[in-house]
Amino acid sequence: MAVSTRIHGVRLDSAIESEERYAYVSDWYMEVGR
Amino acid sequence: MIRRGLLAVGAGVPLLALVTVLALVFRNVVLGPEMPRPGGTFVEGVVGQLGSLNPLYGEATAGSNDLDALLFEPLVRVLPTGRIEGRLAARWDVSPDGRTYSFTLRPNARWSDGTSVTADDVVFTVRTVQDPQFPGALLNQSWKDIIATAVDSSHVRFALPGHNAGFLANLELLDIVPSHLLAGKSIAELASASPNLNPVGTGPFRMVANLADRIQLERNPFAWRRPWLETITIRSFPSQAAALEALDRGQINSLANLTPSAAAQERGNRDVRVLAASTYQYAELLFNLKSEEPFFQDIKVRQAIAKAIDRTSIIRDVLGGQAIPADGPIPRSITWAYDSAAQQPAHDPAGAAKLLDDAGWVLVNGIRTKGTTSLSFGLTVSSDVPPYERVAEKVADQLAQVGIVAEVRPVTTASLIHDYLNPRTFDMTLTAFDNGPDPDVYTFWHSSQAHPGGFNFAGMKKNVFIDGDLEDGRNTLDLAARAKAYATFQEDFAKELPAVFLYT
């Protein structure tokens, strides 16, 4: 899986089915603030 | 004056540098750490058709159902470590006899139309896949004989006919669908496009538009796990080259399922990260072991075939190095259950030739022959899904080097299943399976599953040790005890060699 460096929080388990790349999609983010 | 100015500059540069360093170091202290904020449009590229948006029918239609994972959820998810994560289920219990599983749904679980998720939704989903008309054979088989009961609106119970420690992994494959929208429809209606057009799920996103070349999703405001991303667009590309070009131009943010060459290319792109993970898939050569098949009854022939095959060169030449050799039906990605001590015979063409000689198959004009019979058989393979046909051709080349004739017979995947695997009419077949994160392969290798309609396609004769290992592996929920049972299974299996495992 190739992901833009603009997308943060993307991680994969050590083994996945194809659709499990979205397992932690709720943690992905593009916007940051303080 | 000039000197003072130089001195001032000389002192000012390090001072400025110090201030800059201090500002950077203490930036987070002064301003607070950067935190994720809601917003942003994430665009993913996929190659080919976008697939089904009906989570129960992805398998039946052989289409990709990756997008279902954004829209729908199962009750639980099983990790490669054996740990279980709750999804729609907040918690669960297993009865002491291991036959009753009770789940409590998340109290805040809602469908993307705002309706509460209830136990009736779960029972409806189970009964749908249990329907004899349901077209997905694997789901239908794995849920056969399981009784689902709604205890109350937020509790559901499953009664199993026997022990099945892999049940939670089965559960992971079952995305729950909304009974309030689908109840009363026939199986044919459920399989039609209608529910695909406006799927209502519990996943973190919900659909906005389903267009010819893209699907647009937005954050599901009712999801129990709220995502940061505002929208996700999935764009279809006709080829990987086109998708890679879009990635390199910044038109998409992500591309999955990269070929080895594409992954290598993108590792040189400073604007993207390449993330890799193992899968649970494996490719194998299945022998037809039913008594009418003349060639594979002799274990020396099976061992000779295993020794004749160079898995390393298949992985290097056909798969671009994007796989590792497999040694059995439990892939090494299931870390807690894989037994590295159970190895297949290593590549050894001379050893293969000797085994064939010992078995009475002598070389006549370059072909192994016994009496008037040549060691010549069909190697049936799916032509639909690359690279299996090319792998089969490479296997045939390698077998030819020891005098075995394997005639590659490409067929469609549907034909492979219906015309060869189910009726057991193949000689040898190259198949690929993905049994998910649980090591329970009872369905594929227990002798009770060798009957027509079962998934023990090889039809291996009853082996009390293998049967016993498989029973032990599913009779307990204790991971250590299961790991021990599966270690013994893998060692017994490697001795019996009913299949040659190629790669995972």
**β-pairing verdict for B155-159 and B205-210:** unpaired
Q: Which residue has the tokens 């004899």?
A: B132
Tens of pLDDT, residues B94-107: 998 899 999 999 99
Tens of pLDDT, residues B286-324: 999 987 878 999 999 999 999 999 999 999 999 888 889
Side-by-side strand order, sheet with B272-274: B205-210, B214-219, B231-237, B41-47, B254-255, A2-4, B272-274
The secondary structure of B152-168 as a DSSP string is ETTEEEEE-SS--TTHH
**Least reliable range by pLDDT among B255-264, B392-401, B482-491:** B255-264
Q: For Cα atoms B178, B208, B118, give the angle at the middle one, nearest 5 degrees.
A: 15
The answer to ipTM > 0.85 is yes
pLDDT of B1 above 50: no
Burial class (CB in 10 A: 0-12, 13-18, 19+), B94: middle
Euclidean distance between CA atoms B7 and B2, whole angstroms: 9
Tens of pLDDT, residues B129-176: 999 988 887 788 889 999 999 999 999 999 999 989 999 998 998 999
Task: Compute the average pLDDT of residues B470-489.
Answer: 95
Nearest CB among B35, B205, B277 relative to A14 is that of B277
Euclidean distance between CA atoms B38 and B207, whole angstroms: 18
B271 CB within 8 Å of a chain A CB? yes
Query: Sorting pLDDT into bands at 50, 70 and 90, what band is B21?
Result: low
Report pLDDT for B66. 84
Q: Across the interface, do A30 and B276 touch by the CB < 8 Å criterion?
A: no
Structure tokens given for B79: 């990790």
pLDDT of B419 above 90: yes
Report pLDDT for B433. 87
**Least reliable range by pLDDT among B33-42, B53-62, B216-225:** B53-62
Distances B325 to B97, B346, B494 between C-alpha atoms, Å = 38, 11, 14
pLDDT, mean over chain B: 90
Q: Across the interface, do B254 and A7 touch by the CB < 8 Å criterion?
A: yes
Q: B270 contacts in A (CB within 8 Å)? A: 5
Nearest CB among B33, B255, B272 relative to A5 is that of B272
Query: In B, residues 210-229, which contact A (CB 8 Å cutoff)?
Result: 223, 225-229
With a threshold of 0.90, does the pTM exceed it? no
* Residues B258, B248 contacting (CB under 8 angstroms): no
Query: Sorting pLDDT into bands at 50, 70 and 90, what band is B62?
Result: very low
The secondary structure of B113-124 as a DSSP string is TSPBP-HHHHHH
CA nearest neighbour of B228 among A33, A19, A5, A31:
A31
Q: Closest-CA residue in chain B for A23?
A: B69
pLDDT of B354 above 60: yes
Output DSSP code: residue B446. -
Report pLDDT for B18. 66
SS3 state of residue B282: strand
Distances B30 to B22, B33, B34, B445, B502 between C-alpha atoms, Å = 11, 9, 12, 63, 57
Q: Closest-CA residue in chain A for B433?
A: A17
Euclidean distance between CA atoms B175 and B57, whole angstroms: 10
Distances B99 to B168, B177, B200, B336, B360 between C-alpha atoms, Å = 12, 24, 32, 23, 50
List of residues 6+ apart from B248 with CB closer than 8 A = B269
Structure tokens given for B357: 């000689």
Tens of pLDDT, residues B235-272: 999 999 999 999 999 999 999 988 878 888 999 999 99
Euclidean distance between CA atoms B402 and B55, whole angstroms: 47
pLDDT of B192 above 80: no
pLDDT of B17 above 80: no
Task: Compute the average pLDDT of residues B13-19.
Answer: 62
